[in-house]
């Protein structure tokens, strides 16, 4: 029997240890802790990677989403359209702006169903918040088309989608802003919390600088306090770690795609398993998560655990049926989101996963359904 964890921070650290320690030593020796050159370098390189003019480092993707919405003027009594089938932070960010989250259903690909989008638009709608879940970009052509037609702002939740493309363009480069997370389990993770906003708007950049550092600019001594902000900077030490990890990013995304391919090949033979949507000419997915839909999901989860494989059932209760939503906004009915919450399970997915481990996971799932 093997022991395969759902995330594997330790193996990655083993691989990067010398580089990490030497970077930590450099940064700490220089006393470069808050908004120093490492943050600036990372912001510049990250913007270039995504293909936007600017990137502004903050302390999490959740704050990135809140700041982006606020900078676009989202406020009380506005509506922002997003999905229920996402990590709760996408919805939370809307509520923190005082706005009302309007949750629409997802399609078979786990992403915002653009056929349902136009119906959800009202005179109060201010923005759309598409979530590129599992590292697959939403139908951005259609979303941008509707945004233009109804004069809506677009904030992309790209927390799971660094490296994912749509018609050759990177996630996070379509809307007014893209928001990314460097939570350790994300494709590009730091050693704590971190996030970033990508944008082409100098106004968005300026506002994010103010929000993240108490209403003062990046060089605080040069600016008066002109706004009430927060403490939400990307730490310089984390930025140094992210700078060194950026070198590996393309290789890691490539490896995730290879692993997905192996899973696809092995699992598509099992009739009780539905593999995730495939990359094609339009989309190259980044596979933050490898999520399958299965019969007897909870039993499979237990069986895999008994066989040394850790998997994740993310949201047994969909977000739109959580008390924090129903109490304030009432009950909505989103059949596909509800069905997915009963069927989905995430398999281990990280670049350090070996071929032997992947085959063992596939074999164990086969054994479960052969019983």
User: Where on the chain is the footprint of ligand PLP (CB under 6 A)?
Assistant: 60-62, 86-87, 89-90, 131, 157, 159-160, 181, 183, 193, 195
Residue with tokens 């933050």: 288
Q: How far is the CB of 31 from ligand PLP (least distance, A)?
A: 26
Maximal CA-CA distance, the chain: 69
**Locate tokens 């085959």: which residue?**
359
Nearer to ligand PLP, 135 or 351 (CB): 135
Question: What is the closest distance, in whole angstroms, from the C-beta atom of residue 60 to ligand PLP in the complex?
Answer: 3
Dihedral sign for Cα 48, 211, 122, 129, please. positive
Is-contact 154 128, C-beta < 8 A?
yes
Return the number of the residue (12 or 156) whose C-beta is nearest ligand PLP.
156
Pick 232 or 284: Cβ nearer ligand PLP: 232
Closest CB 202 distance from ligand PLP, rounded Å? 24
What is the sign, positive or negative, of the torsion defined by CA atoms of 351, 357, 359, 365?
negative
Closer Cβ to ligand PLP, 8 or 181, answer by number: 181
Strands (E) in 314-366, as ranges, are 344-347
Instruction: Work out the angle between the directed axes of helices 297-306 and 355-370 (0-180°, nearest 10).
Output: 130
Task: At 266, list the tokens.
Answer: 């092995």
Residue 173 and residue 323: Cα distance in Å, rounded?
A: 34
Report the nearest approach of ligand PLP to the CB of residue 345 (Å).
17
Which CB atom, from 160 or from 165, has the smaller least distance to ligand PLP? 160
E strand or H helix at 157, and its extent? strand 153-157
Tell me whether residue 208 or residue 362 sits nearer to ligand PLP (CB atom). 208
Q: Give the SS3 label for residue 232.
A: coil
Interatomic CA distance for residues 193 and 198, integer angstroms: 17
| Token pair belonging to 297 | 């999901």
Question: CB 134 → ligand PLP: shortest distance, Å?
Answer: 9
Nearer of residues 91 and 309 to ligand PLP, judged by Cβ: 91
Nearer to ligand PLP, 16 or 185 (CB): 185
Query: In whole angstroms, what is the distance from residue 54 CA to residue 51 CA?
Result: 9
**CA dihedral sign of residues 272, 294, 5, 302:** negative
CB-CB contact of 121 with 90 (8 Å): no
d(CA 237, CA 31): 10
CB of 131 to ligand PLP, least distance (A): 5
Query: How near is the Cβ of 195 to ligand PLP at its closest, in Å?
Result: 5
Measured from the CB of residue 164, what is the shortest distance to ligand PLP in angstroms? 12
């Amino acid at each position: 029997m093997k022991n395969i964890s759902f995330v594997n921070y330790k193996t990655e650290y083993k691989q990067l240890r010398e580089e990490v320690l030497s970077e930590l030593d450099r940064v700490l020796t220089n006393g470069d802790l808050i908004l120093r050159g490492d943050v600036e370098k990372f912001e510049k390189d990250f913007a270039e990677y995504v293909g936007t003019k600017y990137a502004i480092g903050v302390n999490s993707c959740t704050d990135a989403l809140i700041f982006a919405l606020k900078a676009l003027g989202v406020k009380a009594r506005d509506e922002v359209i997003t999905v229920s089938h996402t990590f709760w932070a996408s919805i939370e960010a809307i509520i923190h702006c005082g706005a009302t989250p309007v949750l629409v259903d997802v399609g078979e690909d786990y992403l915002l169903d653009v056929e349902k989008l136009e119906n959800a638009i009202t005179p109060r709608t201010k923005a759309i918040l598409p979530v590129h879940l599992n590292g697959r970009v939403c139908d951005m052509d259609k979303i941008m088309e509707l945004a233009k037609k109804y004069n809506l702002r677009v904030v992309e939740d790209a927390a799971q989608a660094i490296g994912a493309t749509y018609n050759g363009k990177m996630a996070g480069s379509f809307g007014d802003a893209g928001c990314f997370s460097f939570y350790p389990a994300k494709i590009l993770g730091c050693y704590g919390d971190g996030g970033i906003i990508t944008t082409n708007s100098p106004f968005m950049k300026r506002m994010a600088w103010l929000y993240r550092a108490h209403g003062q600019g990046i060089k605080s001594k040069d600016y008066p306090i002109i706004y009430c902000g927060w403490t939400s900077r990307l730490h310089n030490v984390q930025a140094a770690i992210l700078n060194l990890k950026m070198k590996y990013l393309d290789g890691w995304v490539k490896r995730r795609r290879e692993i997905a391919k192996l899973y696809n090949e092995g699992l598509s033979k099992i009739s009780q398993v539905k593999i995730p949507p495939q990359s094609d000419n339009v989309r190259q997915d980044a596979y933050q998560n490898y999520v399958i839909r299965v019969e007897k999901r909870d039993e499979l989860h237990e069986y895999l655990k008994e066989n040394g494989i850790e998997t994740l059932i993310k949201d047994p209760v969909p977000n739109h049926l959580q008390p924090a939503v129903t109490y304030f906004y009432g009950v909505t009915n989103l059949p596909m989101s509800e069905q997915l919450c009963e069927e989905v399970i995430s398999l281990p997915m990280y670049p350090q996963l070996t071929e032997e481990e992947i085959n063992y996971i596939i074999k164990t799932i086969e054994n479960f359904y052969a019983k």
